[in-house]
Structure 1
Amino acid sequence: MKTYKQAPVIGSRRVDESAEGSRAKVYFTRVIDAAHLISLYARINDAIYGKVAIKLHTGEKHGPNILPRDMVAAFQKQVKDSTIVETNTLYQGDRHTTAMHRDTLQVNGWTFCPVDIMDEEGTIELPVRGGKHFKTVSMGSHIVNYDSMIVLTHFKGHAMGGFGGSMKNLAIGCADGRIGKSQVHGVDVNNQPEDWNAWPGKELLMENMAESAKATIDLFGKHIVYLNVLRRMSVDCDCVGLIAAEPTIPDIGILASTDLLAIDQASVDLVYQTASNQDLVKRIESRHGLHQLQAMKELKMGNPQYELIEVE
Structure 2
Amino acid sequence: MPSVVYFADFKEKKPFESKEDIIERLFETADIGSVLSDGDLTAVKVHFGEKGCDTYTNPVFVRKITDKIKENKANPFLTDTNTLYSGSRFNSADHLKTAIEHGFGFSVTNAPIIIGGGLREDVFTDVTINKKHFKTVKIAPEICDCDSMVVISHFKGHVVAGFGGAIKNLGMGCATKEGKRDQHRVLQPQIDISLCTGCGRCVEICSFSAPEITDGISVIDSDKCASCGQCVSECPEGAVSFCWEEDIAPFTERISEYALGAVLGKEKKTAYINFLVNITPHCDCASWSDAPIVPDIGILASFDPVAIDTACRDLVNMQAGNTGTHLLCNHKPGEDKFKGTWGYTDADKQLSHGEKIGLGTTDYRLIKI
TM-score by length of 1: 0.86
Distance in 2 between residues matched to 1:260 and 1:154, nearest whole Å: 13
Verify: 1:23 aligned to 2:2, yes or no.
yes
Would you say the 8 A contact 1:44–1:258 is kept in 2? no
How big is the shift at 1:198? Answer: 4.0
Structure 1: stretches of 5+ with no match in the other structure: 1-21
How big is the shift at 1:144? Answer: 2.5
Structure 2: stretches of 5+ with no match in the other structure: 11-17, 188-207, 209-222, 233-240, 329-336
Distance in 1 between residues matched to 2:100 and 2:35, nearest whole Å: 32
Would you say the 8 A contact 2:256–2:353 is kept in 1? yes
Distance in 2 between residues matched to 1:126 and 1:34, nearest whole Å: 38
- 2:349 equivalent in structure 1: 291
How big is the shift at 1:246? Answer: 1.2
How big is the shift at 1:130? Answer: 3.9
- 2:224 equivalent in structure 1: 191
- 1:223 equivalent in structure 2: 269
- 1:54 equivalent in structure 2: 44
Would you say the 8 A contact 1:128–1:214 is kept in 2? no
Q: Quick check: which has more Rg, 1 or 2?
A: 2
Would you say the 8 A contact 2:6–2:301 is kept in 1? yes
Q: Which amino acid aligns with 1:65?
A: T
SS at match of 2:77: strand
- 1:99 equivalent in structure 2: 93
SS at match of 2:35: coil
- 1:10 equivalent in structure 2: none
Percent sequence identity is 32
SS at match of 1:137: strand
SS at match of 1:234: coil
SS at match of 1:307: strand
Q: Which amino acid aligns with 2:352?
A: Q
- 1:181 equivalent in structure 2: 180
Q: Which amino acid aligns with 2:161?
A: G
SS at match of 1:92: coil
Distance in 2 between residues matched to 1:101 and 1:202, nearest whole Å: 28
- 1:12 equivalent in structure 2: none
Q: Where in structure 2 are the equivalents of 1:126-275 lying within 5 Å? A: 126-176=126-176, 178-186=177-185, 191-192=224-225, 195-196=231-232, 197-198=241-242, 201-242=247-288, 244-275=289-320
Q: Which amino acid aligns with 2:361?
A: N
SS at match of 1:26: strand
How big is the shift at 1:119? Answer: 1.0
Greater Cα offset, 70-79 or 80-89:
70-79
Would you say the 8 A contact 2:36–2:69 is kept in 1? no
Would you say the 8 A contact 2:275–2:299 is kept in 1? yes
Distance in 2 between residues matched to 1:292 and 1:248, nearest whole Å: 21
Q: Which amino acid aligns with 2:269?
A: H
SS at match of 1:241: coil
Q: Which amino acid aligns with 2:355?
A: K
- State how many pairs are aligned: 288
How big is the shift at 1:283? Answer: 3.1
How big is the shift at 1:61? Answer: 1.9
SS at match of 2:261: helix
- 1:109 equivalent in structure 2: 103
Q: Which amino acid aligns with 2:96?
A: R
- 2:205 equivalent in structure 1: none
Q: Which amino acid aligns with 1:90?
A: L
Of residues 29, 36, 55, the one that matches 2:22 is 36
Verify: 1:118 aligned to 2:116, yes or no.
yes
User: What does the per-residue CA deviation read over 1:24-62, in whole Å, with 9 as the maximum and x for residues that have no partner?
Assistant: 110001137122122222223212221100100110124
RMSD of Structure 2 on Structure 1 (CA): 2.1
TM-score by length of 2: 0.73
Would you say the 8 A contact 2:166–2:309 is kept in 1? yes
User: What does the per-residue CA deviation read over 1:89-138, in whole Å, with 9 as the maximum and x for residues that have no partner?
Assistant: 00101101111112111211110221110112642233342411111111
Distance in 2 between residues matched to 1:138 and 1:180, nearest whole Å: 5
